[in-house]
Structure 1
Amino acid sequence: MLTKRFLRKRLGRRSRLSLQEVRAMITIPEHMDLSENPKQGPLPFYIGIHEIISTPLHFHEHIEFSFIIEGSGTESINGKTHRLRPGVASLTLPNHMHEISCDVNHQVRKYCCMFDINILLDSSYDSEWCGLLYKIGSQYPSHVEFSADETKWISEILHKLLVESNRASLLPGRNSIICSMIKEALLRFVRAASCIPSADISREPAMKQPFWPILQYIHVHYTDAVSLESLSERFDVSASYISRIFKQYLGISFLTYLHQLRIESASNLLTSTNMSIIDIAAETGFESYRTFSRVFQNLKKVTPSEYRSMHKSISR
């Protein structure tokens, strides 16, 4: 993440610029934390109705599900832009970058639901649809426009979720009801996203429960120093077991999967910001620019600078 300490270390000391001057020079996605919104009880969860004119490019470690009630504008998620209007829902996973710009005199009013991904995982049966959830933003789109009937259904779910969240936190069954309603809303989103014709639906075997927490952890911490050895120690299983289940359930090695996550994040930074490529390499978890450049070219078939130039030309 781009912290103040990181910025001063990279630029401040060298050029003696203030943090504000550095930010003025570089488009930097802001880091936002769930703790910045008031939690409604013991769950790492928040829901509210927000009125928005614009939001800066930002990212966070939690999932955000939003649903437009009124207004219009555009939203960019990982460099891909779509229109906002009533009935449009968006889903951003941890570390997905997004921003909103409203049309003049059409301020957006939306449900905003944010939560820690861990509250979704309480059953081995969840792996069936959570495997699809992690395809959002890559194989499946990050937004859908619901039909009139589905819009009514989603609106009712979110209204009930808002009402339930404002109940006393010690009320019996409150947390379970909240989690079940979140899952219903997300399942309807995933179902709609997976039915879009352009979506590339792969028929992978259902992920087994021992594998799911490992995969979830990697998605949240892929910018850190993650290795088979560190995962082995954290989850108390052998490194060879983790390596084997990656091949079994995803068809690729652990390192290939990790590199794919990092390069997708780097691609988003290349198209969404004007950060230097060296800084992007560091921010996405690569220890050296040489490794980053080699892996990027292997996966994208072009250099990072060529990728940035190509996408800037397309966006003009």
Structure 2
Amino acid sequence: MTNIPEHMDLSDNPKQGPLPLYCGMYEIISTPLHFHEHVELSLVIEGSGTEIVNGKAHRLSPGVASFMLPNHLHGIQCDAGHPILKYCCTFDINILLNTSYDSEWCSLLYKIGSQFPSFVELSSEETKWMSDIFHKLLLESNPTLPSPGRNSIICAMVLEALLRFIRAVSNVQSAETLQEPAIKQPIWPILHYLHIHYTDKVSLESLSEHFDVSVSYVSRLFKQYMGTSFLSYLHQLRIESAVNLLTSTHMSIIDIAAESGFESVRTFSRVFQNLKKVTPSEYRNTQH
């Protein structure tokens, strides 16, 4: 049975300054399968192991950079005795989407994880360049140091790191030759699709039509691999998304229900209270 992925959000980490951005150097032995609404860019400095992104595994070693779009399922397992030390930056992609040059790279950005792999092994020169960016980013994002223009400089450095990753990964001639075979679990394509479209009108019927399989087959996959029903899994995704909106925005409960994929606020409130044991309003109040 596959462990149900954990939902994580930006508020789980200490923030540097007013930007929705977190950057640090971390030692990792393992991280559970998880997903979040922000994007993540990382660079391995030491150690080795395996990273799984949307059901596909690749090796991690010094110089390997990885990038995850929102709601991509990912986790890490280090090799015994070789914990991974890596730079990691997580941020709201919207902080970069405010220039006239967005279209130049956005079309490539959203191909990562599909047409392009979610990782790339950088050359020694590229690794040093990326490492230097992360190091400067850590220094600049120290909120205790007064620095006019800090936010603009941080955004510029993050954009440079991201563009260098996109350049490196888009230069790979064949993404498939770099990736190890997908984990042999038929649930992965469905989970990947669901984590992207969970706020849409998605159902067992629409999934079966999209993947050209029977409704009973999709239902059985969720029971077999996730240990829960499709509807329960969908509700979990939507409620975790709602929790993030409740704690990070001033949106109304009605708007949050709709934004999270629920067709009625009544259903949203019932499911929320069933999973969180409090109403949405009560939950929001406890966070302030």
Q: TM-score, normalised by structure 2?
A: 0.67
> In the TM superposition, what is the alpha-carbon distance from 1:125 to its structure 2 partner?
1.0
Which of residues 24, 32, 51 is equivalent to 1:48? 24
Spell out the pairing of 1:1-316 with structure 2 (5 A cutoff): 27-168=3-144, 171-199=147-175, 270-271=187-188, 283=198, 285-297=200-212, 305=217
Distance in 2 of aligned mates of 1:168 and 1:188: 29
Distance in 2 of aligned mates of 1:280 and 1:113: 21
2:188 counterpart letter in structure 1: T
**Inter-CA distance 97–26: structure 2 relative to 1 (3 Å threshold):** closer
Q: Deviations over 1:194-225 (max 9, x none)?
A: 0111149xxxxxxxxxxxxxxxxxxxxxxxxx
Q: Deviations over 1:67-95 (max 9, x none)?
A: 00100000000111000000000000000
Q: Deviations over 1:207-260 (max 9, x none)?
A: xxxxxxxxxxxxxxxxxxxxxxxxxxxxxxxxxxxxxxxxxxxxxxxxxxxxxx
> In the TM superposition, what is the alpha-carbon distance from 1:295 to its structure 2 partner?
2.0
Query: Is the partner of 1:43 in helix, strand or coil?
Result: coil
Distance in 1 of aligned mates of 2:19 and 2:196: 34
> In the TM superposition, what is the alpha-carbon distance from 1:102 to its structure 2 partner?
0.3
Distance in 1 of aligned mates of 2:120 and 2:24: 20
Q: Deviations over 1:4-32 (max 9, x none)?
A: xxxxxxxxxxxxxxxxxxxxx76210000
1:270 counterpart letter in structure 2: I
The answer to whether the Cα contact below 8 Å between 1:42 and 1:169 also exists between their aligned partners in 2 is no
**Inter-CA distance 158–268: structure 2 relative to 1 (3 Å threshold):** farther
Name the count of aligned residue pairs: 212
Q: CA RMSD in A?
A: 3.1
Query: Is the partner of 1:124 in helix, strand or coil?
Result: coil
2:163 counterpart letter in structure 1: L
The answer to whether the Cα contact below 8 Å between 2:25 and 2:85 also exists between their aligned partners in 1 is yes
Relative CO higher for 1 or 2, CA cutoff 8 Å, sep ≥ 6?
Answer: 2
> In the TM superposition, what is the alpha-carbon distance from 1:96 to its structure 2 partner?
0.2
**Inter-CA distance 58–167: structure 2 relative to 1 (3 Å threshold):** same
> In the TM superposition, what is the alpha-carbon distance from 1:292 to its structure 2 partner?
2.1
Q: Deviations over 1:116-148 (max 9, x none)?
A: 011011112122112211111001110000001
Query: Is the partner of 2:148 in helix, strand or coil?
Result: coil
**Inter-CA distance 184–269: structure 2 relative to 1 (3 Å threshold):** farther
Distance in 2 of aligned mates of 1:167 and 1:194: 34
Distance in 1 of aligned mates of 2:10 and 2:67: 15
> In the TM superposition, what is the alpha-carbon distance from 1:170 to its structure 2 partner?
5.4
Distance in 2 of aligned mates of 1:38 and 1:82: 29
The answer to whether the Cα contact below 8 Å between 1:286 and 1:292 also exists between their aligned partners in 2 is no
**Inter-CA distance 268–161: structure 2 relative to 1 (3 Å threshold):** farther
The answer to whether the Cα contact below 8 Å between 2:19 and 2:151 also exists between their aligned partners in 1 is yes
Distance in 1 of aligned mates of 2:138 and 2:188: 35
Distance in 1 of aligned mates of 2:197 and 2:48: 36
- Give aligned-pair identity as a percent: 61
2:162 counterpart letter in structure 1: L
Aligned equivalent of 1:222: none
The answer to whether the Cα contact below 8 Å between 1:281 and 1:288 also exists between their aligned partners in 2 is no
The answer to whether the Cα contact below 8 Å between 2:71 and 2:196 also exists between their aligned partners in 1 is no
Task: Single out whichever of 166-175 and 31-40 deviates more from structure 2.
Answer: 166-175
**Inter-CA distance 286–293: structure 2 relative to 1 (3 Å threshold):** farther
Distance in 2 of aligned mates of 1:82 and 1:282: 25
2:114 counterpart letter in structure 1: S
